């Protein structure tokens, strides 16, 4: 059970408590809990397919105190348990898991910051639990996923590569994703490596997720599309930010434009010279998050 959030704002030094909740099928799942004001909705940070709570450390360090920030590791990622059945690595199961987090972690309402898969989960929750959502930021994802980007993701998920040093890991990321982040320096690639990888039991650097999350993609129908436009429209009337990386191969420019037209009042933002997905530390992303939270109050 999560501790009660603080009753008033307090300056954040980036510290958090490691908390756990239990899924309906008995998995011990982890989240980072940064204390903040109890009179505001929680800021819920939902990561991409192969990522984890560490991706949002810089966001939380900046806004915690003013806001309680909760950063879950989805099942099979980070410090959360791996699933017994790979078939449970699917969006509906993740949403069910999050429902248990809300009940066990005393989360009534939240502002979702959803990157990629996390944005898809945000849209699904807008349909299934609309009263909980006080606002949302969809980070480089929408109701339609570009085939080019999906194929790129399918090409690396679950490959199980390992590296002897952090520098080797960083160089591998630069080699595979350099086109998406052309301005990154080696220090940025090292930061990315340390957010997405850990030192394994044999001392080598490994990706911090269960390689079996790739298996649902390979099943018949595993790549079949679902019409998520109704899920996007379920956010109508709420404060919404639609973020897109200028170089994204996941969220097409015309889809981003159509999303903005479908949600009057949405804040549509493009992050220059960044692909999939913006890290939310870019100046434009920081300003967009601040505008969203100001609208929520």
- 8 found inside a domain: no
In a domain, 39, yes or no: yes
b vs e for 124-161, b when ≥16 Cβ sit within 10 Å of the residue's Cβ?
A: bbbeeeeebbbbbbbbbbbbbbbeebeebbeeebbeee
The pTM score is 0.93
Q: Per the domain annotation, does 287 fall within a domain?
A: yes
242: β partners: 138, 268
The confidence score (pLDDT) of residue 154 equals 85
Radius of gyration of the chain (CA): 18
Sign of CA dihedral 54, 55, 56, 62: positive
Q: Looking at the domain assignment, is residue 204 inside a domain?
A: no
Task: Give tens-digit pLDDT for 31-62.
Answer: 999 999 999 999 999 999 999 999 999 999 99
Work out the pLDDT band at 5, boundaries 50, 70, 90.
Answer: very low
Q: What is the pLDDT of residue 14?
A: 76
Task: List, for residues 85-123, the tens digit of each pLDDT value.
Answer: 999 999 999 999 999 999 999 999 999 999 999 999 999
Asked whether residue 229 is assigned to any structural domain, the reply reads: yes
**Residue 181, domain member (yes or no):** no
**Pairing state of beta strands 110-115 and 133-139?**
parallel
In a domain, 168, yes or no: no
Number of domains in the chain: 1
> What would the mean pLDDT of 235-262 be, rounded to a whole number?
98
Task: Tell me the residue range of the domain where 84 lies.
Answer: 17-153+225-296
The answer as to whether 172 is a domain residue is: no
Q: What is the tens place of the pLDDT at every residue in 182-240?
A: 999 999 999 999 999 999 999 999 999 999 999 987 654 444 457 899 999 999 999 99
Domain of residue 289, CATH code = 3.40.50.1820
Residue 92 burial class via C-beta count within 10 angstroms: exposed 0-12, middle 13-18, buried 19 and up: exposed
């Amino acid at each position: 059970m999560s501790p009660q959030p603080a009753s008033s704002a307090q300056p954040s030094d980036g510290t958090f408590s490691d908390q756990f909740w239990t899924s309906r099928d008995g998995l011990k799942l982890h989240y980072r809990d940064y204390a903040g004001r109890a009179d505001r909705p929680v800021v819920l940070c939902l990561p991409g397919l192969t990522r984890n709570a560490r991706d949002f450390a810089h966001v939380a360090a900046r806004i915690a105190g003013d806001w309680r920030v909760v950063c879950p590791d989805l099942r099979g990622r980070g410090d959360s348990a791996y699933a017994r059945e790979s078939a449970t690595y699917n969006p509906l199961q993740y949403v069910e898991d999050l429902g248990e987090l809300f009940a066990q972690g005393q989360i009534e309402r939240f502002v979702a910051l959803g990157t990629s898969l996390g944005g898809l989960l945000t849209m699904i929750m807008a349909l299934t639990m609309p009263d909980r959502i006080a606002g949302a930021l969809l980070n480089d994802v929408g109701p339609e996923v570009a085939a080019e980007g999906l194929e790129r993701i399918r090409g690396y998920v679950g490959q199980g590569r390992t590296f002897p040093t952090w520098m080797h890991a960083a160089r591998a990321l630069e080699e595979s994703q350099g086109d998406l982040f052309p301005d990154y320096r080696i220090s940025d690639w090292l930061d990315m490596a340390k957010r997405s990888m850990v030192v394994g039991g044999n001392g080598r650097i490994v990706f911090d997720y269960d390689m079996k999350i790739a298996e649902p993609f390979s099943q018949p129908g595993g790549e079949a599309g679902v019409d998520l436009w109704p899920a996007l429209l379920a956010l109508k009337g709420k404060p919404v930010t639609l973020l897109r990386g200028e170089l994204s191969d996941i969220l097409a420019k015309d889809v981003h434009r159509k999303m903005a037209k479908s949600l009057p009042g949405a804040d549509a933002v493009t992050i220059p010279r960044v692909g999939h997905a913006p890290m939310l530390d870019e100046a434009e992303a920081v300003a967009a998050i601040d505008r969203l939270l100001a609208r929520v109050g």
